[in-house]
């Protein structure tokens, strides 16, 4: 695997799990690493909430497991540089969270609730504000015993029809951003339509003169699409989102393809069902079973996709209340 240096932190490969709310649970991130993901940031967590409410409520999303995950990264969102400063201070005071290797800033979230506060993809339209957030994070991380780089994940534009924001990429790099990841869709596209690889490339080329890695993101579903995304954008690495839900094996497949090795066989139906159980049992270690099962409802359908009788299984799984019930439904 091709390792990537992110601001002094070496990640062991160039295929990462893209952060996903409700999906990127700490236990799942560990599973993805086993399958070859180079690293996997947490889902987005509000810097403002950490600032004013402390780590408590956010801990379920912030939790990292350096032993299982290898390189760890926490993704924060917000609009006010002071919120990031305060949030990072609190993170770095915590015995577990202070072990984090990378702080990632979300500048791509298209959800109106986030955008209307000036956070997420709203920052695409405000390159100087976006840069000031990077500067604040870098400053808050100065003087620690270890260097913690700051990365940004964003999109190719805020408005429909935007085809890349090289000005944003440059502003972020000038502010000291240690890695940039760009999803090839605009904010109004959410997750629909095709990824614009030319627009991703434009942003990659904008920071050519800076010695920072660039990741591309969007629509990778297998080895071939990973290979072509890297080729067409010139990216140093990729992040895989939706296709990894219920399918952590995708990392082994993509790594094999990128390295020109034979693609490993697809997991059997039994292996898929067993991995589903492994993930829910793992999630149950972190909260009450009923909560874990309820949260897992959005993920379970992906594990049984393609399995005989999947439609009926999905309906039944989504009304299950306990792990034992899930096992019965899956006949395990
Ligand atoms: C359910 C879901 C939750 C997501 N949550 C986040 C998030 O917390 N932070 C983030 O940067 N992107 C988030 N994304 C965007 C993905 O990380 C990724 O950029 C997007 O899905 C495109 O990549 P893909 O085509 O490989 O899925 C989310 C996407 C989905 C589908």
Which segments of 234-300 are extended strands (E)?
A: 237-240
Residue 95 is given by DSSP the state: T
The answer to whether 74 and 100 are in contact (CB under 8 A) is yes
Give the helix/strand (H/E) hosting 6: strand 4-6
d(CA 132, CA 246): 37
Active site residue 109: yes
Quick: pLDDT tens for 67-112. Answer: 999 999 999 999 999 999 999 999 999 999 999 999 999 999 999 9
Q: Where in the chain is the domain with CATH 3.20.20.70?
A: 4-258
pLDDT single digits (tens) 219-242:
999 999 999 999 999 999 999 999
279 CB under 6 A from ligand 1? no
Average pLDDT value for the chain: 97
Three-state SS across 48-104? HHHHHHCCHHHHHHHCCCHHHHCCEEEEEECCCHHHHHHHHHHHHHCCCHHHCCEEE
Is the CATH number 3.20.20.70 carried by domain 4-258?
A: yes
Query: Which of 17, 21, 124, 239 is the best mutation target for the ligand 1 pocket, counting ligand atoms within 8 Å of the beta carbon and taking the most?
Result: 21
Q: What number of other Cβ atoms are within 10 A of residue 53's Cβ?
A: 12
pLDDT attached to residue 210? 97
Per-residue pLDDT tens digits for 154-196: 999 999 999 999 999 999 999 999 999 999 999 999 999 999 9
State whether the beta carbon of 44 lies less than 6 angstroms from ligand 1: yes
pLDDT digits (tens, 9 = 90+) for 31-80: 999 999 999 999 999 999 999 999 999 999 999 999 999 999 999 999 99
Tell me: the pLDDT tens digits for 240-269?
A: 999 999 999 999 999 999 999 999 999 999
Distance 191 CA to ligand 1 centre (A): 8
Q: Name the residue of 16, 17, 18 whose CB sits within 8 Å of the most ligand 1 atoms, as the mutation to test its pocket.
A: 18
Q: What is the pLDDT of residue 1?
A: 82
* Active-site option among 32, 109, 137, 181: 109
Task: Write down the pLDDT at residue 167.
Answer: 98
pLDDT of residue 303: 98
Q: How far apart are CA 211 and CA 213, in angstroms?
A: 7
Percent of the chain with pLDDT strictly greater than 70: 100
Helix 197-206 to helix 223-233 angle, to the nearest 10 degrees?
Answer: 50
């Amino acid at each position: 695997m091709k390792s990537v240096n992110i601001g002094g932190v070496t990640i062991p490969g160039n295929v990462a799990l893209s952060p996903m709310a409700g999906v990127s649970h700490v236990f799942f991130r560990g599973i993805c690493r086993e399958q070859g993901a180079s690293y996997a940031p947490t889902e987005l967590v509000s810097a403002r909430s950490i600032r004013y409410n402390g780590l408590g409520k956010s801990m379920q999303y912030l939790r990292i497991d350096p032993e299982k995950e290898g390189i760890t990264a926490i993704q924060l969102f917000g609009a006010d540089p002071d919120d990031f400063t305060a949030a990072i201070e609190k993170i770095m005071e915590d015995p577990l969270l202070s072990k984090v290797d990378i702080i990632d800033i979300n500048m791509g979230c298209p959800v109106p609730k986030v955008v209307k506060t000036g956070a997420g993809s709203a920052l695409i339209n405000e390159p100087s504000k976006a840069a000031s957030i990077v500067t604040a994070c870098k400053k808050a991380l100065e003087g620690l015993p270890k260097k913690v780089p700051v990365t940004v994940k964003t999109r190719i534009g805020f408005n429909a029809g935007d085809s890349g924001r090289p000005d944003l990429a440059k502003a972020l790099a000038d502010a000291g951003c240690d890695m940039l990841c760009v999803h090839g869709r605009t904010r109004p596209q959410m997750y629909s339509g095709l990824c614009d690889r030319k627009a991703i490339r434009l942003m990659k080329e904008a920071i050519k003169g800076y010695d920072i890695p660039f990741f591309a993101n969007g629509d990778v579903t297998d080895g071939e699409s990973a290979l072509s995304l890297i080729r067409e954008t010139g990216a140093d690495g990729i992040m895989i989102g939706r296709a990894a839900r219920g399918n952590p094996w995708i990392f082994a497949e993509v790594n094999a393809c990128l390295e020109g090795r034979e693609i490993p066989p697809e997991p059997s139906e039994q292996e898929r069902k067993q991995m589903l159980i492994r993930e829910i049992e793992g999630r149950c270690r972190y909260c009450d079973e009923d909560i874990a099962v309820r949260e897992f409802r959005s993920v379970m359908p992906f594990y049984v996709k393609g399995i005989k009788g999947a439609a009926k299984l999905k309906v039944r799984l989504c009304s299950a209340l306990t792990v034992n019930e899930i096992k019965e439904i899956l006949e395990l």
